[in-house]
Structure formats: structure tokens, C-alpha cells
């Protein structure tokens, strides 16, 4: 049975900020009263879920919103208690929280560390950039409060990454963003192009806030900054994923993998959907309160959603970058009577691939050499100890040891420690 990651819309669209570009907020704004996942839903869902994932041994839950921290810490205390009570022996439990960071404090930090949660914090760059879009309802920027939240995570040594939404406010400033993130000593950054569409109206074509040209330039300049002579030190998710593709590891971004499968999204009321961009009745997979999980995870409705990516746009089928691109995100395809047209950002991806392919190939080769080196270290550790700095590297690359697997730059690069 494949893994079954679940993303919870913990408080539906409720949020304590009012970011202009939020695709989820506007769907629901003013249409309904405050919403929260009911604890009774948790009590029913978590035991069933733990039974369902017992075979595969991985329970993966991601808590998003709106702003999930609005539901309060006692709710999440209950989550971990239920998970511990109902997980089968040997099940690995992975929780992640996607937050705007504003409410994070020492209490949250202590909880998140104690239970080993991974946190994603939305931050669009330095204050002057971030505060252009990420404001509260009173129109005040949130930067300072977000940074205080990040400080709380740091005090408790919580693992976190940064999610940076790309819009007109920052897409033309890639170097500045990377410089700021490095100054802050962040270790992992993910860039997401802003799209102005309604998650609850998935049939409406999306509108985009940046052009493919802008995104293409952003990606190439960010790549140059990221590459660091073949020893990157700041993880950028899209490049990590393309590197994995070159190294023969399946890409974990659904947009660049073979299947249109991002797990299952659960709304606050238990209704289930196949993707964060398709929260609409016509795509509903059932409700965890009364639909068997097997049907939600792999029934006909889910299969037909996943299958859409099997019918790629014509241009993708003969594209030289298909191996790494995989056709992009289906939400960004344009559906016409003659079949789908490629991802809106197709030309941005092509620009990046052309620009970066050679270096990605080199880096993937170095990574594969490092894996061979680690094998030797395990099977014949004396061979590594005997190898002098000027000797050929035991990985077999033909380079000197000191310029290859024993190089200090590689030691400092996260790529070689994954």
C-alpha cells in the first residue's frame, strides 16, 4: 500500500493575517462563520488512519490553514496524544505545521520540539518586501511578529523551513532574497509563485501575479546563487528536487513527478479532496466520517484525479526536459477542446533547465560519487583512512581526495549530507 499523507485544513480559511495574494482566504471570506476541526472528528479519524497506515509504517500529517495555530495548542496536544494512543508498533509519525509564525512563542516552541514537528514559516523576504503583502486586517505589516515567532523556534531548536511566496513585490529581487535568507542563517527555503485563483472554484482558470519570464529569470539567478561552485549551503526545494531527478531519485514535488498525487486534503469538517488547489464539490473524495479510508486514498475518484497527468500536453510528450519536468502542475495547464496546453510556467522551467542542466548533472555525479565513498567507508574503512589528501579519491572519480570527497567545501554543503 502506498504512503497516505494527509494535509489538514485545520481552521479552514480562517487567518489572523489578510495577505492580498492568498488563494485560499478569498474563497471563503465572508461566506461562513468561524470554522475549526472538531475534536470529535479527530477522535474518529486518527484511530482509523493509524490502522490504515499500519502496513506501510508511516503516518504523515501536515497541519495547514488558513492559520492553523489559531486553533490553539491544546488541540495539538490532543493530536499527539491520540497519535501515540492509536499508532501501531513501529509506525513512524511525522507531523508538520505550516504557519505565518505570528502566534509562535516559547510554549509553541517547546511543544514543537518535544514532539519533533517540522515547521514551515511563511516569510517573503526582508521587512520592506515582506510587509508589502503580508499584512493584518488593520493594514499593519507582520514582519516583526513573524521574526519573533522564528526566534521562538530557534530558542527551542525546532526544525523549520521558510516558504517564500513570489509576487510582484519580490520576483525581481532574487539575489536580495537569497542574501537575506543567508544572513538570517536559514537552512531551507521554498519559493512558491503566487496565483490568484480560488481553491473552492477549481474550474475557474487561475490568474497569475507574475509572468513566466519573470519567474524564469528569478529561477536562473537564484540557481546561480544557490550553486556555490558545486557545494550549495542553503537548500532551495525546487533545485533539490531537480538534483534528485538527475541523481535518479524520484522527485517529491508533485508538479515534477509522474503522478498528480499530493496525498489527501481534509477540510475542517472531514470532507476529503485530492489536492490543495481542488477544494471543490466536484472533486470531493468523500468524508472521513463515513467513507472508508481505502476509498478516499485509492478509490475511483482519487484514481481519476491522479490519472489526469497520464495524458500530458502534446508539447510535453516530445519535450527534451520531460525527464526532469514531468509536465509541471496540472492546475497550471490550460484545458482546450484539443487537449491540454502546457503549464503556464513552461518557458520558465525551460529557461532554468537550459541554464542549469550541466551543473545539475555535475552535482548529481558528485553526489553519486559520495554515495560510493560512503559505501567504501562502511565496507573498507581502512581504505579511506589510508587515502592521503593528494591520493586519488576512493570514490573512483579520478580526482584528488582533497578536491573530491574530502574537500572542506563539500563537507560544508548540505547536499552531501542528505
Other CB atoms within 10 A of residue 155 CB = 13
> 197 vs 226, which CB is nearer to ligand SF4?
197
Contact predicate 184/164, CB 8 Å? no
Rounded least distance, CB 319 to ligand SF4, Å = 3
> 349 vs 373, which CB is nearer to ligand SF4?
349
Rounded least distance, CB 256 to ligand SF4, Å = 8
Rounded least distance, CB 35 to ligand SF4, Å = 22
List residues bridging with 64 in a β-sheet: 9
> 165 vs 275, which CB is nearer to ligand SF4?
275
Rounded least distance, CB 74 to ligand SF4, Å = 32
* Distances 305 to 272, 276, 278, 281 between C-alpha atoms, Å: 13, 13, 10, 13
Rounded least distance, CB 361 to ligand SF4, Å = 17
Angle, helices 39-52 vs 73-86, to 10°: value is 30
> 101 vs 327, which CB is nearer to ligand SF4?
327
> 261 vs 269, which CB is nearer to ligand SF4?
261
Residues that bind ligand SF4 (CB under 6 A): 254-255, 260-262, 275, 277, 315-316, 319, 321-322, 325, 327-331, 342-343, 346, 349-350
> 196 vs 374, which CB is nearer to ligand SF4?
196
> 272 vs 387, which CB is nearer to ligand SF4?
272
* Cβ-based neighbours of 76, under 8 Å, separated by 6 or more: 63, 111
Rounded least distance, CB 262 to ligand SF4, Å = 4
> 297 vs 319, which CB is nearer to ligand SF4?
319
> 330 vs 406, which CB is nearer to ligand SF4?
330
* Cβ-based neighbours of 28, under 8 Å, separated by 6 or more: 12, 13, 200
Query: What would the grid cell of residue 390 be?
Result: 593528494
Burial (CB count <10 Å: 0-12, 13-18, 19+), residue 395: buried
Rounded least distance, CB 345 to ligand SF4, Å = 8
Rounded least distance, CB 373 to ligand SF4, Å = 33
> 241 vs 369, which CB is nearer to ligand SF4?
241
Rounded least distance, CB 314 to ligand SF4, Å = 9
Rounded least distance, CB 20 to ligand SF4, Å = 22
| Buried-exposed string 166-199: b where 16+ CB fall within 10 A, e elsewhere | bbebbbebbeebbebbeeeebebbbbebbbebbb
Amino acid at each position: 500500500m502506498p504512503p497516505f499523507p494527509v494535509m489538514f485544513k485545520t481552521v479552514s480559511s480562517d487567518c489572523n493575517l489578510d495577505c492580498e495574494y492568498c488563494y485560499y482566504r478569498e474563497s471563503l471570506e465572508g461566506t461562513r462563520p468561524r470554522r475549526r476541526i472538531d475534536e470529535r472528528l479527530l477522535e474518529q479519524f486518527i484511530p482509523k488512519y493509524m490502522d490504515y497506515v499500519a502496513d506501510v509504517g508511516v503516518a504523515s500529517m501536515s497541519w495547514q490553514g488558513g492559520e492553523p495555530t489559531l486553533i490553539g495548542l491544546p488541540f495539538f496536544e490532543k493530536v499527539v496524544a491520540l497519535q501515540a494512543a492509536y499508532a501501531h508498533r513501529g509506525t513512524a509519525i511525522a507531523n508538520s505545521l505550516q504557519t505565518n509564525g505570528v502566534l509562535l512563542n516559547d510554549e509553541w516552541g517547546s511543544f514543537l520540539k518535544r514532539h519533533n514537528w517540522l515547521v514551515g514559516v511563511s516569510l517573503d523576504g526582508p521587512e520592506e518586501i515582506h510587509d508589502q503583502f503580508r499584512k493584518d486586517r488593520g493594514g499593519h505589516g507582520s514582519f516583526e511578529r513573524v521574526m519573533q515567532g522564528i526566534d521562538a523556534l530557534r530558542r527551542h531548536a525546532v526544525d523549520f523551513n521558510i516558504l517564500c511566496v513570489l509576487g510582484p513585490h519580490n520576483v525581481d529581487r532574487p539575489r536580495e532574497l537569497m542574501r537575506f535568507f543567508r544572513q538570517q542563517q536559514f537552512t531551507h527555503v521554498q519559493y512558491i509563485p503566487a496565483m490568484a485563483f480560488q481553491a473552492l472554484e477549481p474550474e475557474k482558470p487561475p490568474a497569475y501575479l507574475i509572468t513566466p519570464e519573470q519567474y524564469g529569470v528569478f529561477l536562473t539567478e537564484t540557481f546561480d546563487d544557490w550553486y556555490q561552485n558545486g557545494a550549495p549551503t542553503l537548500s532551495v526545494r525546487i533545485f533539490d528536487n531537480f538534483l534528485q531527478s538527475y541523481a535518479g531519485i524520484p522527485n517529491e514535488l508533485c508538479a515534477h513527478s509522474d503522478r498528480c498525487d499530493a496525498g489527501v486534503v481534509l477540510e475542517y469538517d472531514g470532507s476529503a479532496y485530492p489536492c490543495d488547489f481542488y477544494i471543490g464539490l466536484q472533486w470531493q473524495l468523500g468524508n472521513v466520517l463515513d467513507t472508508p479510508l481505502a476509498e478516499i486514498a485509492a478509490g475511483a475518484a482519487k484514481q481519476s484525479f491522479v490519472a489526469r497527468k497520464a495524458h500530458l500536453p502534446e508539447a510535453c510528450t516530445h519535450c527534451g526536459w520531460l525527464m526532469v519536468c514531468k509536465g509541471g502542475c496540472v492546475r497550471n495547464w490550460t484545458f482546450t477542446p484539443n487537449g491540454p496546453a502546457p503549464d503556464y510556467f513552461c518557458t520558465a522551467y525551460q529557461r532554468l533547465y537550459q541554464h542549469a542542466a550541466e551543473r545539475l548533472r555535475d552535482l548529481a555525479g558528485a553526489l553519486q560519487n559520495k554515495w560510493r565513498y560512503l559505501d567504501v567507508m562502511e565496507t573498507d574503512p581502512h581504505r579511506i583512512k589510508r587515502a592521503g589528501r593528494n591520493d586519488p579519491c576512493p570514490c573512483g572519480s579520478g580526482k584528488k581526495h582533497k578536491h573530491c570527497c574530502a574537500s572542506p567545501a563539500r563537507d560544508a554543503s548540505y547536499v552531501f549530507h542528505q
